[in-house]
Each structure stands twice: as C-alpha cells, then as structure tokens.
Amino acid sequence: MPVHLKKEIENLKKELLTLCGMVEDSLFQAVKSIKKRDVKLAEKVIDSDIEIDRMEVKVEEDCLKVLALHQPVAIDLRFIITALKINNDLERIGDLAVSIAENSRFLSAQKPIDMLFDFETMAEKTQAMVKKSLDALVNIDCDLASQVCEDDDEIDAINRQMYDQTKRQMKQTPENIETLIHLLSVSRHLERIADHATNIAEDVIYMVKGEIVRHNPSSSSKTAPA
C-alpha cells in the first residue's frame, strides 16, 4: 500500500474512533440521565448531537477525498466503503441516544415507577457492544466481531421480556400508560442500538472474509412489536 494511502487510512480509523467516542459518551450520558432523572443532562445530550452530525459529515467527505485522490483497490477500497457504512451506523446510534434523552426528559417529569426490566444490564451490554464493534474494525478482529453478533441475541431477549412486562403492567396500572410507553420506547431504542453495533460487526466480517453474515435470520428478533 502506498505510504500516503496508508496514512489516510490510519487517519480515517482515528476519525471513526473519535466519532465512536462521541457516540459512546452521548449514549452513556443519556442512560445516566434516565437513572438519575437528570433533565439537564438529557438536554445536554440532545444539544450535543449536532457535533456528532458534523463529525459524520467530515468522515464521509474524507472517505470521498481518499477515494478520489488515491483510487484504492481490493482491501483498501473495501475498508473505505466499510468506514462509510459504519459512519452512518454511528450517527444513527447518536440519534437513538438523543431519543433516549428525550424519553428521559419526559420520564423525569413523571411520578417514578419501577423500570420493569433490567435496564442497567441492557444499557451496559448495549454500550459494550458498540465499543467492541469498533474495536473489531480498528484491530480487524473477526472473533470480536462474531462475539458482538452473539451478544445481540441477549439484548433481543431482554427487549422481548420488557415488552411482555409492559403489556401486563399497562393493564394493571392504566394510569401509568404514558410512562410505560416511554419505558418501552427506551428498551426499543437500546435494542436498535444493539442492531447497529451488530451491523458494524457484520460489516467488519464481510470486509475481512468477504463472507456475508448480515441478513442472517437467526440474528434478528421480530417478536416484540414496539
């Protein structure tokens, strides 16, 4: 690989890591704002999303520049296309962190109720999946990427459990329906974040092995509707 191209690819990796750090932080703060019922923290997450959006645009433009200037082929070309896709997934995780912060803003103003599901475990596991998927990209580590795909099943299971509990709880305490819809929504956002981390991991595997693991029906959960 020419030295200039190598340098550009290293730079793209660094930019993706920066974006990933921003997104992880946003998710961490959004989850914390729910736990602490902290509206100000939720507002901070919502306001700082613009920085994530700007970074996403920068990464995309830099990928295009590398393509135009260096016209990479083979694994280098695939890396840049993978970077473009992962960039998109990271930005969407940022959007979902904002959605969680918006739920948090609503929930903080309501009478506290039991979280119904193992929210902390779900949040921690989802956060770890995002981190692992990026580590898999940066270190070109297919084993780690496969682990992320496996972890997704656990998140899907927690989300299904949450859905069943919410249904029951809505019937028992109809006065809490709005709060319960928001809680269900938090669970669903975390589940979608885990899906994006899985997309990233699948793209890493495809980049390295040329083996398409996305669209594998076993890796998606479709039983909880909301």
Give contact residues for a second copy (rule: CB under 8 A): 50, 53, 56-57, 60, 63-64, 67-68, 71, 73-74, 77-78, 81, 84-85, 88, 98-99, 102-103, 106, 163, 166-167, 170-171, 174-175, 177-178, 181-182, 184-185, 188, 212, 214-215, 222, 225-226
Other CB atoms within a 10 A radius of the CB of residue 10 amount to 10
Other CB atoms within a 10 A radius of the CB of residue 212 amount to 11
Closest approach of a second copy to the CB of residue 114, in Å = 18
Smaller CB separation from a second copy, 119 or 128: 119
Least Cα distance to 83 among 106, 104, 56, 109 occurs for: 56
Closest approach of a second copy to the CB of residue 150, in Å = 21
Closest approach of a second copy to the CB of residue 93, in Å = 15
Smaller CB separation from a second copy, 1 or 177: 177
Closest approach of a second copy to the CB of residue 184, in Å = 6
Least Cα distance to 148 among 164, 134, 162 occurs for: 134
Smaller CB separation from a second copy, 114 or 143: 114
Closest approach of a second copy to the CB of residue 54, in Å = 8
Exposed / middle / buried, residue 160 (Cβ in 10 Å: 0-12, 13-18, 19+)? middle
Phi-psi region of 202 (alpha: psi -120 to 50; beta: other; left: phi over 0): alpha
> Cα angle vertex 53, ends 120, 18, to 5°?
65
Smaller CB separation from a second copy, 111 or 171: 171
